[in-house]
């Protein structure tokens, strides 16, 4: 650290007068990391390098605010809070002026504590009104949730195609290798999809494959030799080059009113079931509901589309100023993404404190560290199975969070306060022995909250550890 400071200081001294050939060791490390990401394509690798350069120029510039922010970032990367993901933990998978695909960093790039979900990725697709996303297939299974807007998704196989209307709250499974494309036919609302992705080739890594395209998005056809293409298409080379050299506008395009109208197919309504296509989270069983909030749960054991992936989905809608009960999931690790509103989150984690305290683990058992964060639209949080956690909505907005539950079948949410909390089920002697006080004293605490699952929130809101 000391040496890094000295180097930085030296750089600051000389940078005003001469162009520098030397590099910061940290920036070198950053570049090495870009080199080693083998699944990166040329463009993505370039972007990666670019970020390193920005880092370097920030350091050279010695911008105080940036420096402060960076050291906080570093501290966090070292594992103090590996469960929370903000804007800066996403990379751009695809971007044009009409929208973007953002991909959350690999969980194990963040922390070894997340290796249980190493083969899952999260991405969000945000596209402008009246736009079209070029068809592609992925080497990954995925499940997406429509967080906002409306659109049409068309999936294609060798026997034909099917179109599905998308509206807010819809859930859809896209099988690995399915070619699909999306339009946003709305006149003024953006369409936002939150995706959970499970790669099928290499754990944790996936790619999109564009056939229809040109230079950008690059068509995979152009990777083949000319004589192969000529023979395969029974077509002359110049004609092929004209076709595959044309598109340069990127993977998310503006479409005309007529094109949008023609592609906005009407899906038969009233099918009711979910044997095909989409189903809506709001039409699922509300497992809990009161004036403070609602919980909607999709158990994969009861939905054919999600069964083989064993991914459940839940949606919590917390009324402004209210909170969830502290609770834990029995067997699923939840990847939660804030869809709307603001608030904060706290979780008890035994792993962080045992990491930082080393062998100073108390003889009585584990010790728990508070993981906390502010929540706002787009914040993602990982909640491992068994970990007690709680979510509070801000005083002036409802908070909606979608959760993808890995290993979701027959998962249960166990409340730790309020009606039917787990401590209340203990027998008298167990309570008295465990707490070391009389049952009456235990009950005074564990029986005074009369609501179930969603409560009135704290009068004073602590914002969690802020990131800024």
Ligand X SMILES: *[C@@H]1O[C@H](CO)[C@@H](O)[C@H](O)[C@H]1NC(C)=O
Told to check if 110 binds Cu ion by CB under 5 A, we report no
* Nearest distance from C-beta of residue 440 to ligand X, angstroms: 35
User: Which of Cu ion, ligand X, none interacts with 349 (beta carbon under 5 to 8 A by kind)?
Assistant: Cu ion
CA-closest candidate to residue 124, choices 338, 295, 286 = 338
* Nearest distance from C-beta of residue 203 to ligand X, angstroms: 12
Told to check if 114 binds Cu ion by CB under 5 A, we report no
Q: Is residue 215 packed enough to be buried (19+ CB in 10 Å), middle (13-18) or exposed (0-12)?
A: middle
* Nearest distance from C-beta of residue 349 to Cu ion, angstroms: 3
The 286-290 sheet, strands edge to edge? 84-85, 380-383, 333-340, 399-406, 311-318, 293-298, 286-290
Told to check if 121 binds Cu ion by CB under 5 A, we report no
* Nearest distance from C-beta of residue 169 to ligand X, angstroms: 7
Could you tell me if 314 and 332 are in contact, meaning their C-beta atoms sit under 8 angstroms apart? no
Number of residues in contact with Cu ion, rule: CB under 5 A?
2
Told to check if 349 binds Cu ion by CB under 5 A, we report yes
Could you tell me if 169 and 237 are in contact, meaning their C-beta atoms sit under 8 angstroms apart? no
- State which residue, 171 or 349, has the beta carbon closest to Cu ion: 349
* Nearest distance from C-beta of residue 356 to Cu ion, angstroms: 12
Binding site for ligand X (CB under 6 A): 116-117, 282, 294, 317, 319, 333, 398, 406-407
User: Which of Cu ion, ligand X, none interacts with 317 (beta carbon under 5 to 8 A by kind)?
Assistant: ligand X
- What lies within 8 Å, CB to CB, of 121 at 6+ separation is 103, 104, 106, 140, 196, 197, 198, 199, 204, 206
Distance CA 279, CA 287 (A): 17
Identify which range of 94-102, 125-133, 345-353, 394-402 contacts Cu ion by CB under 5 A.
345-353
- State which residue, 224 or 282, has the beta carbon closest to ligand X: 282
Could you tell me if 304 and 168 are in contact, meaning their C-beta atoms sit under 8 angstroms apart? no
Distance CA 200, CA 196 (A): 13
Distance CA 297, CA 403 (A): 9
- State which residue, 120 or 210, has the beta carbon closest to Cu ion: 120
User: Which of ligand X, Cu ion, none interacts with 294 (beta carbon under 5 to 8 A by kind)?
Assistant: ligand X
Q: Encoding tokens for residue 415?
A: 């409340």
* Nearest distance from C-beta of residue 399 to Cu ion, angstroms: 23
Biggest CA-to-CA distance, the chain: 89
- State which residue, 148 or 413, has the beta carbon closest to Cu ion: 413
Q: Which residue has the tokens 């293409």?
A: 229
User: Which of ligand X, Cu ion, none interacts with 324 (beta carbon under 5 to 8 A by kind)?
Assistant: none
User: Which of ligand X, Cu ion, none interacts with 155 (beta carbon under 5 to 8 A by kind)?
Assistant: none
CA-closest candidate to residue 168, choices 194, 182, 138, 148 = 148
* Nearest distance from C-beta of residue 298 to ligand X, angstroms: 14
User: Which of Cu ion, ligand X, none interacts with 351 (beta carbon under 5 to 8 A by kind)?
Assistant: Cu ion
Residues of the shown chain interacting with Cu ion in the complex, contacts defined by CB under 5 A: 349, 351
């Amino acid at each position: 650290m000391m040496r890094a400071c000295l180097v930085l200081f030296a750089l600051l001294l000389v940078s005003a007068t001469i162009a520098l050939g030397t590099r910061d060791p940290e920036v070198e490390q950053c570049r090495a990391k870009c080199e080693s990401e083998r699944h990166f394509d040329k463009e993505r690798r370039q972007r990666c390098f670019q970020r390193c350069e920005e880092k370097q120029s920030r350091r050279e510039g010695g911008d105080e605010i940036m420096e402060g922010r960076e050291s906080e970032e570093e501290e966090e990367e070292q594992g103090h809070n590996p469960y929370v993901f903000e804007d800066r933990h996403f990379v751009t998978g695809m971007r044009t002026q009409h929208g973007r695909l953002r991909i959350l960093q690999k969980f194990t790039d963040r922390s070894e504590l997340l290796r249980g979900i190493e083969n899952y990725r999260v991405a969000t697709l945000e596209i402008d009104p009246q736009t079209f996303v070029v068809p592609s297939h992925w080497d990954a299974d995925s499940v997406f949730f429509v967080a906002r807007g409306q659109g049409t998704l068309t999936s294609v196989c060798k026997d034909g195609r099917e179109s599905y209307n998308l509206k807010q709250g819809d859930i859809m499974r896209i099988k690995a290798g399915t070619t699909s494309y999306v339009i946003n036919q709305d006149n003024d609302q953006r369409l936002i999809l939150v995706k959970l992705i499970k790669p099928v080739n290499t754990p944790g890594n996936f790619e999109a494959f564009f056939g229809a395209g040109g230079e950008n998005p690059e068509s995979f056809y152009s990777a083949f030799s000319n004589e192969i293409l000529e023979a395969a298409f029974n077509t002359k080379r110049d004609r092929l080059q004209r076709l595959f050299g044309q598109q340069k506008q990127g993977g998310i395009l503006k479409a005309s009113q007529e094109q949008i109208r023609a592609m906005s197919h009407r899906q038969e309504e009233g099918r009711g079931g979910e044997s095909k296509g989409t189903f809506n989270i709001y039409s699922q069983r509300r497992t809990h509901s009161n004036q403070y909030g609602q919980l909607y749960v999709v158990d994969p054991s009861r939905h054919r589309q999600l069964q083989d992936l064993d991914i459940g989905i839940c949606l919590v809608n917390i009324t402004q100023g209210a909170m969830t009960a502290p609770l834990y999931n029995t067997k699923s690790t939840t990847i939660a993404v804030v869809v709307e509103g603001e608030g904060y989150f706290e979780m008890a984690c035994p792993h962080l404190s045992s990491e930082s305290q080393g062998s100073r683990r108390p003889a009585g058992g584990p010790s728990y560290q508070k993981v906390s964060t502010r929540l706002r639209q787009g914040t993602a949080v990982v909640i491992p199975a068994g970990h007690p956690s709680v979510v509070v909505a801000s005083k002036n907005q409802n908070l909606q969070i979608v959760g993808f539950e890995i290993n979701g079948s027959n998962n249960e949410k166990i409340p730790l306060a309020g009606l039917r909390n787990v401590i209340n089920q203990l027998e008298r002697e167990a309570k008295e022995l465990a707490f070391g006080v009389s049952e009456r004293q235990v009950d005074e605490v564990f029986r005074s909250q009369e609501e179930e699952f969603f409560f009135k929130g704290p009068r004073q809101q602590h914002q969690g550890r802020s990131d800024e």
